[in-house]
């Protein structure tokens, strides 16, 4: 071992060894090694579903690993809970804010470890004082008594950071801490991180924003599909290397299929608007035509309005305005069931929450949206239903021993195929897929994309939303970029370049 | 294409003996209590005893069948006991006092079939109110049906100002005789109430297992959002299950009133708890999405056999309550155990 390597090893405060985590249906983490160095920003990088959040939750005690061990200062430790980990000086800032909106800023910050007099009486004055100090350090003028529910998301993020700082942490885990912050707020946060580093605190930093990582990171660990992909010193690598490690080889680009342009558009969206709860527009006077046989990639950043547009199309947003015509038929005002019968099918973004009924079998899930096709009188024709289920399982290569297996027992990729199968059994003309590649392994991803292309060849109009550049470039015939609820770019595959797509996706956001 | 599927590694669908035992626990419990009481209580397996037992069970089983529909969607119906009382009072009032038509100065006495239909309609109406509260006004099912529990009970008391309608045999001159048949009549030796249970149970089992409506009930209970996005009219499904539960409760109320040949406004108090107990004992998850009508009926029989058997053994009614409570808790504990075992096996299959 070289002197340098020895120095690094000495610096390691927390080490995960061969840590794995299995859930029913998915293995989120396969035997991953990860070392956290003190006085450094340890970056954890990976796509959605790569296992970053799972690893982080294990380090913070929020989840217990199914296999592997954790070492703190070279002594083996187990964390039964977040509080347990906190007792060792490990703090975490979750991506989804974990604050109680009904309590004040100070109450939130000292929720788990109040200062008490005589063992019972909460010392509010002391809390307020300390909170003010923390806020000054974070350069934010947030009053300790303000209810958290009244704060903007960015301010809540600051409170979340203050909450972690309030306990003298040795290791601070930050999951996408900048996702809600403006550029100035990010600068302040980075200054705070610099101070913490100088004080010897180890930071575990998770983010998608590569520029940010290069700026602040000291070491980087890349996860892919739940496995350790690479570890490197940040100064030795650049953004293209990070991207290639993160994304890996993409599935082969789509075959040179030219969509039929002779027919009238199958789907005509005209002037569709949808208000969001904050008074703005999630979808803003959007118009778009899609032809049969076309694979349209809908690219955009988080919050661009892609999912909302899909929800409008399927009818899950009854308050939407504007016209949606499918094959000449007006769909506006129809309920979801009628739109499905008319030929619209949606594969939602979150298959656990929106796509599957977990406690039901694979077969029951598959036919849930197309029960009308299997009617004989008032009853379901079980034979015909079974035949359709078996056929779908075979055609989509769903790996399952029997249609009666509960859908939770399947891996993520196979669950995704069940959701797609459910959509296909409705015999759609227009198939909408929201982030179809998210959280599934590379092999399943390639199969899903192949299926999408095959369906387009059969004459379906296929639209899929993604925030993954490589994915949209590899799979789509045509790329529509959305930002702020509007179409900000519409490119054929030949015209599309990464730079153009990114530019279009950021339109109107800079302000 | 099929060749590829064959070649793909197929995850084995294993069933452990433990899991099998757990999933059959209600049936095992049924045979266990049957065996126990036939060994300890004299004449327990007599045909006469069993027929009487089935008759006792039928009321709770009918309530529990309706309850199962609601619980499968993830809801709960606390109002069924009150509907038992209200339906009985409506029927009793119609038979005993008729409908006074003041304008014409006459009183109308409807025939018994009409009386029965009206009483059932009242039950369905209360169910409709429950359903509308839960769907339109987004009131939590527990609260909505707790409210109608009081309203229906209060209404039952108002019908007669708290008094009992006695001797509901009807009068030949009014052509409204025959009401006691429901509770006391038999066809080929089988009590009418048991026949009703068989018919309602068979229809309910068919509807839940073999119709699109049944599938949608499970889907709504399992994942409401996913069901909605799959085109399931979630609100309509919820409304219907409360209507069904109200209807079943009304039928049970009619049987109770008919057996007693009288209707008392307080009858059916705490019946909702027995119905929930039978439902849970039968393996239906209170979270929704899991359970069967057959399980519920078996659950109702386990409770009924326990009650009757303990009476025959001369066990005090205080101890009976303690035992019933223990059995219900054991059922839920076993249910959790089954869930955990299944989960663990799923993870193991994953690792393999």
pLDDT by residue (tens digit) across B236-288?
Answer: 999 999 999 999 999 999 999 999 999 999 999 999 999 999 999 998 988 89
Whether B349 is in a domain gets the answer no
- Dist. CA B270–CA B287, nearest whole Å: 22
Task: Tell me the sheet residues that pair with B108.
Answer: B99
User: What per-residue confidence (pLDDT) applies to B9?
Assistant: 36
pLDDT level of residue A508 (50, 70, 90 thresholds): low
Of A22, A364, A397, the CB nearest to B4: A397
User: What pLDDT, on a 0 to 100 scale, did the predictor assign at position A1?
Assistant: 47
Asked if A48 contacts A432 with a C-beta cutoff of 8 angstroms, the reply is no
Query: Mind listing the pLDDT tens digit for each residue in A122-147?
Result: 788 888 888 998 888 877 788 888 88
Q: Angle of helix B212-222 relative to helix B234-260, nearest 10 degrees?
A: 110
**At a CB cut-off of 8 Å and minimum separation 6, what does B277 contact?**
B299, B303, B324, B328
Asked whether this chain's domains A3-247 and A265-343+428-511 adopt the same fold, the reply is: yes
Beta strands, E only, A119-168: 121-122
Q: B220 CA to chain A: closest CA distance, Å?
A: 8
Band (A9; pLDDT cuts 50, 70, 90): low
Residue ranges of A 344-383 with Cβ closer than 8 A to chain B: 346, 348, 353-360, 364, 367-369, 371-372, 375, 378-380, 382
Please check whether residue A205 is in contact with residue A36, taking contact to mean a CB–CB distance below 8 angstroms. Answer: no
Task: Determine the pLDDT at residue A21.
Answer: 87
Asked if residue A259 has pLDDT above 60, the reply is no
Shortest distance between the Cα of A400 and any Cα of chain B, in A, equals 6
Residue B2 has pLDDT above 50, yes or no: no
- Rounded Cα distance, A450 and A64, in Å: 36
A256 pLDDT higher than 60: no
For helices B47-72 and B212-222, angle between their N-to-C axes, nearest 10 degrees: 60
CB contact under 8 A, A369 and B215: no
Residue A388 in tokens:
């359709």
Average pLDDT over residues A381-386: 94
pLDDT band at residue B351 using 50, 70 and 90 as cut-offs: low
Q: Is residue B327 part of a domain?
A: yes
Give a yes or no: residue B63 inside a domain.
yes
Q: How far is B235 from chain A (nearest CA, A)?
A: 12
Interchain proximity B211–A378, CB inside 8 Å: yes
Indicate which CATH number applies to the domain containing B249.
Answer: 1.10.3470
Q: Do A399 and B13 touch (CB under 8 A)?
A: no
- Residues in Cβ contact with A478 at an 8 Å cutoff, skipping those fewer than 6 apart: A259, A294, A295, A296, A297, A490, A491, A492, A493
Highest mean pLDDT among A408-412, B44-48, B108-112, B152-156: B152-156
Among chain B residues, CA nearest to A411: B350
Is A401 part of the contact surface with chain B (CB cutoff 8 Å)? yes
| A55 exposure class (CB count in 10 Å sphere: 0-12, 13-18, 19+) | buried
> Would the pLDDT of B349 be above 70?
no
Among chain A residues, the shortest Cα distance to B15 is held by A405
Q: Report the pLDDT averaged over residues B32-40.
A: 87
Structural domain includes residue B348: no
Which residues form the domain of B244? Answer: 17-343
Q: How far is A177 from chain B (nearest CA, A)?
A: 29
Give the architecture (CATH level 2) of A3-247.
3-Layer(aba) Sandwich (3.40)
Question: Where along chain A do its domains lie?
Answer: 3-247, 265-343+428-511, 354-424
Segment of A205-219, A466-480, B200-214, B319-333 carrying the highest mean pLDDT: B200-214
Predicted pLDDT at B350:
55
| Domain count across chain B | 1
User: What is the interface pTM, i.e. ipTM, of the complex?
Assistant: 0.85
Higher per-residue pLDDT: B263 or B174? B263
Query: Is B240:B73 a contact under the CB 8 Å cutoff?
Result: no
The model's confidence at residue B98, banded by pLDDT at 50, 70 and 90, is: confident
CATH fold for domain A265-343+428-511: Rossmann fold (3.40.50)
Q: State whether residue A25 sits within 8 Å of chain B by CB.
A: yes
In this prediction, residue B226 carries a pLDDT of: 95
Categorize the per-residue pLDDT at B10 as very low, low, confident or very high, splitting at 50, 70 and 90: very low
Which chain B residue has the Cα nearest residue A369? B230
Q: Taking the CA of residue B144 as centre, how many other CA atoms within 13 Å lie in the half-sphere pointing to its CB? A: 23
**Token duo for residue A294:** 């076309």
Q: How far apart are CA A363 and CA A361, in angstroms?
A: 5
Is the pLDDT at A430 greater than 60? The verdict is yes
Residue B141 lies in a domain: yes
Q: How many CB atoms lie within 10 A of CB A279?
A: 6
A314 shares contact with chain B (CB less than 8 Å): yes
């Amino acid at each position: 071992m070289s002197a340098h390597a020895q120095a690094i090893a000495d610096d390691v405060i927390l080490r995960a060894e061969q840590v794995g985590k299995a859930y029913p249906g998915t293995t989120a983490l396969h035997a991953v090694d990860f070392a956290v160095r003190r006085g450094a920003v340890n970056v954890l990088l990976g796509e959605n579903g790569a296992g970053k959040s799972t690893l982080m939750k294990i380090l913070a005690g929020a989840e217990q690993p199914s296999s592997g061990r954790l070492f703190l200062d070279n002594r083996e430790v187990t964390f039964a809970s977040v509080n347990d980990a906190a007792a060792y000086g490990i703090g975490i800032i979750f991506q989804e804010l974990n604050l109680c909106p009904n309590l004040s800023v100070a109450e939130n910050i000292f929720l788990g470890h109040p200062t008490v007099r005589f063992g019972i009486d909460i010392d509010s004055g002391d809390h307020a004082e300390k909170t003010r100090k923390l806020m000054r350090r974070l350069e934010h003028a947030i009053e300790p008594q303000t209810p958290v529910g009244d704060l903007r998301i960015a301010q809540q993020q600051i409170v979340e950071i203050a909450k972690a700082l309030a306990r003298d942490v040795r290791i601070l885990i930050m999951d996408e801490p900048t996702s809600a912050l403006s550029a100035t707020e990010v600068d302040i946060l980075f200054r705070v991180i610099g101070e913490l580093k100088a004080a010897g605190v180890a930071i575990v930093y998770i983010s998608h924003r590569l520029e940010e990582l290069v700026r602040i990171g000291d070491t980087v660990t890349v996860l892919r599909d739940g496995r350790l992909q690479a570890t490197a010193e940040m100064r030795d690598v650049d953004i293209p290397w990070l991207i290639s490690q993160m994304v890996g080889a993409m599935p082969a680009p789509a075959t040179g299929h030219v969509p039929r342009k002779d027919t009238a558009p199958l789907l005509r969206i005209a002037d569709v608007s949808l208000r969001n709860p904050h008074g703005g527009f999630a979808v803003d006077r959007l118009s778009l035509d899609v032809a049969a046989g076309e694979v349209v990639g809908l690219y955009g950043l988080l919050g661009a309005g892609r999912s909302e547009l899909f929800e409008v199309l399927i009818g899950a947003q009854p308050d939407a305005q504007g016209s949606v015509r499918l094959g000449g038929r007006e769909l506006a005002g129809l309920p979801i069931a009628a739109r499905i019968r008319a030929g619209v099918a949606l594969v939602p973004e979150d298959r656990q929450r929106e796509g599957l009924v977990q406690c039901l079998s694979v077969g029951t899930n598959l036919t849930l949206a197309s029960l009308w096709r299997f009617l004989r009188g008032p009853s379901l024709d079980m034979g015909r239903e079974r035949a359709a289920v078996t056929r779908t399982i075979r055609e989509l290569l769903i790996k399952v021993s029997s249609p009666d297996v509960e859908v939770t027992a399947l891996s993520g990729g196979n669950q995704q195929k069940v959701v797609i199968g459910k959509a296909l059994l409705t015999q759609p003309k227009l198939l909408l897929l929201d982030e179809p590649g998210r959280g599934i392994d590379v092999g399943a991803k390639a199969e899903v994309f192949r299926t999408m292309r095959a369906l387009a060849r059969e004459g379906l109009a296929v639209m899929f939303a993604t925030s993954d550049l490589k994915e949209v470039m590899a799979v789509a015939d045509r790329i529509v970029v959305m930002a702020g609820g509007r179409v900000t770019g519409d490119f054929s595959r030949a015209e599309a370049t990464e730079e153009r797509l990114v530019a279009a996706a950021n339109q109107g956001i800079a302000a | 294409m099929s060749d590829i599927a064959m070649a793909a590694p197929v995850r084995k669908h294993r069933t452990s003996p433990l899991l099998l035992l757990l999933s059959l626990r209600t049936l095992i419990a049924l045979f266990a209590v049957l065996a126990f009481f036939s060994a300890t209580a004299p004449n327990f397996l007599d045909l006469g005893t069993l027929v009487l037992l089935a008759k006792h069970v039928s009321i709770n089983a009918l309530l529990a069948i309706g309850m199962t529909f609601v619980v499968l969607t993830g809801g709960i119906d606390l109002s069924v006991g009150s509907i038992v009382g209200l339906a009985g009072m409506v029927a009793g009032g119609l038979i005993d006092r008729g409908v006074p038509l003041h304008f014409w100065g006459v009183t109308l006495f409807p025939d018994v079939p009409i009386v029965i239909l009206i009483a059932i309609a009242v039950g369905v109406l209360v169910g409709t109110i429950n359903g509308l509260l839960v769907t339109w006004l987004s009131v939590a099912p527990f609260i909505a049906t707790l409210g109608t529990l009081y309203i229906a009970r209060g209404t039952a008391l108002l019908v007669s100002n708290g008094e009992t309608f006695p001797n509901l045999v009807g009068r030949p001159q009014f052509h409204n005789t025959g009401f006691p048949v429901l509770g006391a009549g038999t066809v080929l030796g089988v009590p009418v109430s048991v026949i009703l249970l068989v018919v309602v149970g068979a229809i309910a089992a068919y509807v839940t297992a073999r119709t699109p409506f049944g599938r949608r009930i499970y889907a709504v209970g399992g994942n409401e959002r996913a069901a909605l996005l799959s085109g399931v009219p979630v609100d309509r499904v919820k409304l219907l299950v409360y209507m069904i539960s109200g209807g079943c409760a009304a039928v049970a109320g009619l049987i109770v009133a008919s057996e007693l040949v009288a209707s008392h406004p307080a009858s059916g108090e705490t019946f909702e708890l027995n119905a929930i107990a039978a439902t849970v004992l039968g393996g239906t998850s209170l979270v929704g999405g899991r359970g069967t009508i057959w399980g519920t009926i078996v659950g109702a029989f386990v409770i009924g056999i326990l009650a009757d058997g303990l009476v025959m053994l001369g066990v005090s009614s205080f101890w009976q309550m303690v035992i019933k409570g223990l059995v219900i808790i054991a059922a839920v504990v076993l249910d959790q155990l089954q869930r955990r075992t299944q989960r663990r096996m799923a993870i193991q299959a994953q690792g393999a």
